[in-house]
Every structure is written in C-alpha cells, then in structure tokens.
Amino acid sequence: FQTFEGDLKWHHRDITYWIQNYSEDLPRDVIDDAFARAFAVWSAVTPLTFTRVYGPEADILIQFGVREHGDGYPFDGKNGLLAHAFPPGPGIQGDAHFDDEELWTLGKGVVVPTHFGNADGAPCHFPFTFEGRSYSACTTDGRSDDTPWCSTTADYDTDRRFGFCPSEKLYTQDGNGDGKPCVFPFTFEGRSYSTCTTDGRSDGYRWCSTTANYDQDKLFGFCPTRVDSAVTGGNSAGEPCVFPFIFLGKQYSTCTREGRGDGHLWCATTSNFDRDKKWGFCPDQGYSLFLVAAHEFGHALGLDHSSVPEALMYPMYSFTEGPPLHEDDVKGIQHLYGPRPEPQPQPPTAQPTAPPTVCATGPPTTRPSERPTAGPTGPPAAGPTGPPTAGPSEAPTVPVDPAEDICKVNIFDAIAEIRNYLHFFKEGKYWRFSKGKGRRVQGPFLITDTWPALPRKLDSAFEDQLTKKTFFFSGRQVWVYTGTSVVGPRRLDKLGLGPEVTQVTGALPQGGGKVLLFSRQRFWSFDVKTQTVDPRSAGSVEQTYPGVPLNTHDIFQYQEKAYFCQDRFYWRVNSRNEVNQVDEVGYVTFDILQCP
C-alpha cells in the first residue's frame, strides 16, 4: 500500500461529508446509499465514523462535474478518467469529484426506478422478454397511450410485473409546474414544441411547459432523464438515440461501433449524423458509483494508489460484486488510523419497560390487495406472524462504545414523540428520552428489535394519538405500525404523494386525525383515517413558518411545540393564537438532551 508523502491523515475520527450535487444517471436515494456504503467499507475496519451534513463545513465534499469543474484538474469526457480526490486536509483537501460524463450505475447497467404499475416501484430488469421479444430499454410497445414501461423481472410474459419508466408524460421535476406532466404541443416564444427542449436555457437541462401556452402561463418543469435510452458524453448528452440515422451515407437502426477505434457503441441523436453531427454513447453497463466512490474515499482518507491489481486502491477500474477491500487496503488504512475497536463486554442491565403489544396470533390486518410486498430495499415485512417483540431486548442502557453515545451524534435521521418518549433515530439504532424522568436517556436500542420491518435509515416518524398508529417514512416508502402489527412498505403514491416527493422529512399532528406531512419546503394535510393527503392543502414552509430555515431535514412535534431541525440545531415554533413564531433556537444535543 502507499500513503501520501508525510502520511497525510485526518486528526479526528468523526468525519463529515456533504453531497453537494447529484448526477441524473441514478435516483437520488440510490446515490445517497452508494456513498453511505462506500464510507462504510472504511468505517468497518477503522475507528472512523462518517456522518452526512448539509453544508460546506464538511470534511469531505462530494461533487459531480464535467471537463474543467473548478479545481484545475479537468475531466476528459466519457471513459478514461472517471473521478479523483484530494488527500486529507482543510479546504479542497479531502474532497472527491466524479466525472458526470460517465454513465453512473451500480456496475450492471442503468438503474431505472418505476412508477405505478404493480411492482411497487421496483427498478426495471434489463433485458426483459415481452411477447417473445427481448428489450434492453423501456418501450411503448403494447400500449396505446405511448407511455414507456418496462418489466421488473426478466420475463414479463410469465411474471406480469411491470412499472412505468420516468417520463415527462407522467411527471416533471422541480420548476414551478407542481410536478405536473408536460402538455404537448406547447407554445414557447411563439413556436410550437411537441417534445422537451433545451431552448431558452444555457444549462442544457431539458424542460417543457405544463400548460399548452408557456408564453402566457409561465408554468414549466424539467423532464426526467430517460437513462435507459439517453446517450452520455458526445455532444448531446441526455438526448435519446434517433433510429434509423444516416452515417457516412449508410442507414443504422441500432447503436453501432462503426467509425470508432475504441469499440464503444454510439448513435446519432438526429436522423442524419452526416448533416447534423449530433451524437452520444449508448447506455452500457456503466461504472459502479459505489466501487469508484470507495476508491476515491480511500484517497480522501490518506491512501495513495496500490500496485496490487486486486486491491481497491489499484488505479484501474474493475467491477466486482465481492467485498471490495483487499488485505493490502486494510493494512494501509490501519497504518493510518488503527483497527476498529472491539466492543467491550458489559454486565447485564435492567430490562426497560415494554410498550403495550397486540396479540401476535391475530389475523393479518391488511386487506389482500394491500398485502405487504417486497420493496426494492428489503425482504417481505415480518408482519404479525413474526415473534412478539416486547420492546428492546437485552440492549444495555449504558453505551457500548463511545460511538454509540447519543451526545456524540451530530445529526439524527429522525426524531419523534412516541408513547410520551422522544425517540432519536440514527443508522439502525434509537434512544428514548423523557423530560419527565429527570431527563434520563435510555438506549441505544436496535430499531429492528422493536420494529422488525423498518430499514436502517429513517427520514421521519410520528404517532397518531387517537389510533396509536405509528407512521415511519424512509425514501418513498411508509410503514404503519399498530403495536407489533405492520402494514408496509407501501409507496408514498398510496398516500397521494406524487413522484416528485422524494421523501417525507417531518410530520406535525394537528389533532382530529389530521397531520401535516412535510417534504423539504412543502407540506400537505394528511388524514390518518383515510391515509391520504388532500392535494389542495399544499402549503409552503417559508410562508407558514417564517423564520425557520428552508432546508430542514427533520420536523417533529414535542409537548405541543413544533421543532424544525437543520444540522445540529433546532428552531422551535410556537403556534399560539394561530400565529407561528420561532420562540427558541438551540442545539439538539445540548439544549434538548442536556448533553455535557
């Protein structure tokens, strides 16, 4: 292994990272997960911990860029140079940059999330067979409404599992069109458009009008990228191939290697390359963002390139599905930071009191058509037939090691008041806190000990006082626990939240079975009984809660007050006399948890 000259390394263990922007090649939650797993590769063999923050004060800044992207080390278009990173230190040191002219995948081809259909949002499976024909991209075949779809298994003819592919016919992203789909044709500067366009923009993003007349209504949205058929690199990235196209006088109706010496498949994005010279590379397996990130984070922690071809720190990319770390990598990183401390054995401690449980042998409580299904993130939910869980089992109330000390956590995944305890969730664990008991904190407990179906990373949670149902949100999925009985994961669509809502960042119960659900700067009124939001109730945080930051990542209610969290801080809002007013700002750990 090699380290940088002078053994450059971090001199603290709790490393922070900030994902500054995103590639359009992968869904954002897949990118977040890939980076989190890439850091976990290193935290598994060192005392280091990695915490995500949302600002430039982070130790490691992660950025996607093309060509010259601001550091004097330009990227080189598709293939060749994939990414680079700087050794530990202040400023740009420790940062990792990824070439956005590459096609970022998980190493096995494009990842296309689906919407609606019957596959619960599972990604497309390419290739898939439909009526005996093989497809390696979304298709409108078999549909009269021209909406692109795909199979989520290898064989649609036998499995019948399908979903719709991202398409401007289904929705748009951002802009001010409220996520509505494009309206074609639409009029822009007097001209009629029947497809998305980059006209009028200098950043190259494809957009459309969400009404028939943009000149008049000024309502627009950005068109989802069709990664399954869009080209990368070349001079028209993001555009779809046009078949057939003319190249050197010959007609091509599939991607071709003709004219290239490097063997990469390409296509034209207009019908005549000889005339228009518009082209790009066709989708291929792409590069695994997880593996490349794990390599670059090795640099960001102080490792230089290795000469061992099987090592993660060898400079050349090669795809593997096995554990990425080689012995050489482990020796190198432990030379800098030492091994991961083993947890110390602890004496048994008193059993915490158990929450009320529902008899586990009752019938399934979900309607047949709502039977919990395997979501893209996990196995079928255990449901009521799982073993009864009488609260956290065996977890000590004394932290096992410093990394589990709640006072060391900067930012929590979610905070919610459940059964009069304030619960703090973080990376698969949670703590319980109650002011009433002399500000004692209990935990950490394993989330899965109490709520087996839940994923490791939560976005928010709330308990409905009337029905005692507890709702948990993660990405675009929701779980509803009533005692130990669970319904979910279900998609947010079932609650009436459209695909543009990528996560639920918080909830404020309003009484009477109504709860405000928040997603970044917007919120909706949710009816706990019907379990749907009222689409007309959409509101803006900025207007309704003046004074709180706009990029809060967790919102919860505690003892009748609303808390808006951003980074390590909270803004407390008092709603006396129908006026929302910030009446306190403080640290979550110092002012709520009273950490020393």
Rule CB under 8 A: choose which of 52, 226, 299, 423 binds another protein.
299
Site stretch for another protein (CB under 8 A), options 143-151, 257-265, 364-372, 541-549: 257-265
Task: Give the active site residues.
Answer: 296
Identity of residue 61: L
Q: Enumerate residues 348-387 that contact another protein by CB under 8 A.
A: none
Contact letters for another protein, residues 34-73 (x by CB under 8 A): ---------------------------------------x
| Cβ proximity to another protein, 79 vs 389, nearer residue | 79
Q: State the number of binding residues for another protein (CB under 8 A).
A: 40
Told to check if 142 binds another protein by CB under 8 A, we report no
Q: Work out the widest C-alpha separation in the chain, in whole angstroms.
A: 82
Cβ atoms of 209 and 182 closer than 8 Å: yes
Identity of residue 339: P
| Cβ proximity to another protein, 267 vs 515, nearer residue | 267
Closest CA to 518 of 538, 496, 493, 547: 538
Cβ atoms of 263 and 308 closer than 8 Å: no
User: Shortest distance, CB of residue 26 to another protein, whole angstroms?
Assistant: 18
Rule CB under 8 A: choose which of 158, 251, 307, 465 binds another protein.
307
Return the structure tokens found at 303: 């490792």
Classified as helix, coil or strand, 582 is strand
User: Shortest distance, CB of residue 299 to another protein, whole angstroms?
Assistant: 6
- Residues in CB range of 159: below 8 A, 6 or more apart: 151, 153
| Cβ proximity to another protein, 6 vs 348, nearer residue | 6
Query: How far apart (Å, rounded) are the C-alpha atoms in residues 12 and 50?
Result: 11
Q: Using CB atoms within 10 A of its CB, is residue 240 exposed (0-12), middle (13-18) or buried (19+)? A: middle
Distances in Å between the Cα of 570 and the Cα atoms of 56, 546, 549 are 19, 14, 9
Rule CB under 8 A: choose which of 292, 294, 411, 453 binds another protein.
292
User: Shortest distance, CB of residue 261 to another protein, whole angstroms?
Assistant: 5
User: Shortest distance, CB of residue 203 to another protein, whole angstroms?
Assistant: 17
Told to check if 231 binds another protein by CB under 8 A, we report no
**H or E segment to which residue 267 belongs:** strand 266-268
Rule CB under 8 A: choose which of 279, 451, 462, 571 binds another protein.
279
User: Shortest distance, CB of residue 364 to another protein, whole angstroms?
Assistant: 49
User: Shortest distance, CB of residue 76 to another protein, whole angstroms?
Assistant: 5
Find the Cα–Cα–Cα–Cα dihedral 375, 377, 380, 386, rounded to 10°: -140
User: For residue 146, is it left (φ>0), alpha (ψ between -120 and 50) or beta?
Assistant: left
| Cβ proximity to another protein, 203 vs 578, nearer residue | 203
| Cβ proximity to another protein, 261 vs 379, nearer residue | 261
Cβ atoms of 483 and 358 closer than 8 Å: yes
Query: How far apart (Å, rounded) are the C-alpha atoms in residues 518 and 526?
Result: 10
Q: Enumerate residues 74-133 that contact another protein by CB under 8 A.
A: 75-77, 79-85, 102
Binding site for another protein (CB under 8 A): 4-5, 73, 75-77, 79-85, 102, 233-235, 248, 258-262, 266, 277, 279, 287, 292, 295-296, 299, 304-305, 307-309, 314-317
